[in-house]
A and B are shown apart, each in its own frame.
Chain A
């Protein structure tokens, strides 16, 4: 029954001032779809709640040279409808469209999805495959940028310090030789946490006719979303044929076995991983051919 102070910064300066007050009992409120229940749990003490939902400056998708920059407070509904995301980060669009329900996507943000650090976060899985970098801001006004994989430490654990807010994700925009996809297995067609998810990014060289720059993000098979180098190596340099799909599928099952040995859900997940991989592979085919090279 302790008191909680709420600040709702509207500008970066106000945000920095708010972050400067942060203690270990301070929470950042993005969409709130997970946090609202968390802070209301009996015994949970929150001294300061920093409501980021009045920060329009943190909600954007924009091109910056070769990079795509996504503000942390961009909602999944916005990502799902964004033309730049559609063209240059298709896997993120697909992941966004499969997060929760319309009501959840309307408020849940990509920043919150990552900061919440759920192993089955769809947005995080896509960003991992996109090799995203995270930019944070702290109470001294300092901005720091580091790879997403260094931020996600485990289930519910991040490397973010008290008073450090995610403000932006950035990753190389996918060009017209790239394709990406996202696939997910839940309990239902819609509105289900992922039991398994995969984000797949490949470059298809039209001259050599082989796959390169393969990046595979896996979700819900371990403590946090991660890229699997072994799996990626299997596809590198291969033609985009059915055999590659098979290799991806078997490699995916292997990756699951390596990630959750002995886990109760393993017998299911190692088999479902095959279907997941085929889903992701096939979904590459609906990835829009990108517009003529940007920049």
Chain B
């Protein structure tokens, strides 16, 4: 079937099977091979692109689902020829090794910063939870996203949910429960 898709601001007319995934159309029809496929089941995030401002896995989305929407891929980040701040910070912070996860990481991070310009480190890690990297241990990636948000120092950690739960909140009527499995 014929599809009109808007990718990186350009309208493309492509011919694809109805069950073609967005990633297939991007890579095979448009030659936008920056979007990578690492698992094919929406677990590794290498295929992440932004659709209407939200990060999505293009390997578990059909091309037809993107009809009428704005798709942004890694190739669209430096469309003017100059690296986006986020890309620049990935370079400076040593956030790139083999680089196969990088486009997806960038797009998840971009979507985060579009919605939340000053994310905490926990926000960053949550936003990148669906992007696996086997090389870096994530530290430099988190640092790069933080730096791209203009926060050069370690952001204040919000207490984790667990700490929040264990804190002695005064809630009328509900006693906190502590599980104690006995001593050693």
The answer to whether any beta carbons of A and B sit under 8 Å apart in the complex is yes
**Cβ-based interface call for A8 (8 A):** yes
* Pair A190/B129 contact, Cβ less than 8 Å: yes
| Residues on the B chain within 8 Å of A249, using CB | 177, 179
Q: Is B150 an interface residue (CB 8 A)?
A: no
A102 adjacent to B126 (CB under 8 Å): yes
With A54-B68, A102-B111, A204-B174 given, is the CB distance from A6 to B40 under 8 Å? Answer: no
Is B177's CB under 8 angstroms from A242's CB?
yes
Interface residues on A, range: 35 or more
Name the residue of chain A whose CB is nearest to the CB of B107.
A103
Task: Find residues 23-73 in chain B having any chain A CB closer than 8 Å to their own CB.
Answer: 40-43, 45, 48, 54-57, 59-62, 64-65, 67-68
Known contacts A8-B64, A104-B42, A240 near B54 by CB under 8 Å: no
* Interface status of B18 (Cβ within 8 A of chain A): yes
Give the total number of A-B pairs whose CB atoms are below 8 A apart: 130
Tell whether, in the assembled complex, residue A206 and residue B172 are in contact, meaning their CB atoms are under 8 Å apart: yes
B175 part of interface (Cβ distance < 8 Å): yes
Stretch at the interface among B82-90, B91-99, B135-143, B163-171: B163-171
- Is A32 an interface position by the 8 A CB rule? yes
Q: Are B169 and A32 in contact (CB under 8 A)?
A: no
Interface size class of chain B, counting residues whose CB lies under 8 Å from the partner chain: 35 or more
B129 touches A191 (CB 8 A): yes
A62 CB, min distance to chain B CBs, angstroms: 22
> Which of A5, A206, A281 is B173 in contact with, Cβ under 8 Å?
A206
Q: Which residues of B contact A102 (CB under 8 A)?
A: 55, 108, 111-112, 126-127, 129-130
Give every chain B residue within 8 A of A242 (Cβ-Cβ): 175-178
Contact B42 A245 (CB under 8 A): no
Tell me whether A51 and B174 are in contact (CB under 8 A).
Answer: no
Shortest Cβ-Cβ A-B pairs, 9 listed: A101-B130, A245-B177, A190-B129, A106-B54, A6-B18, A240-B174, A241-B175, A103-B57, A4-B18
